[in-house]
Amino acid sequence: MNPQRAKEIVDSPTMINVMLEGNPIYIQHVNESESTARVFPVDDPEKEKEVSLDSLNEE
């Protein structure tokens, strides 16, 4: 996923389905300079992690 699209998803007022390794996630923050995003599983907000934007797929 490109950084611009990831930021659009973060700023969107509606939930957009994004997957990480087949699991639905929520993007909390995008770090454009590092091409990473802070994400967590939709069903488990306690499991935040930093991942490469390349590993994210929009459904």
* pLDDT tens digits, 17-56: 999 999 999 999 999 999 999 999 999 999 999 999 999 9
What local confidence, expressed as pLDDT, does residue 50 receive? 98
What local confidence, expressed as pLDDT, does residue 31 receive? 97
Q: Is 3 helix (H, G, I), strand (E, B) or coil?
A: helix
Phi, psi of 3, rounded to the nearest 5 degrees:
-60, -40
Q: Which two tokens stand for residue 35?
A: 């091409």
| Whole-prediction pTM | 0.90
The residue written with tokens 């490469």 in the block is 52
- What do you get for the CA distance between the two ends of the chain, in Å? 11
Q: Which two tokens stand for residue 38?
A: 């802070």
What local confidence, expressed as pLDDT, does residue 17 receive? 97
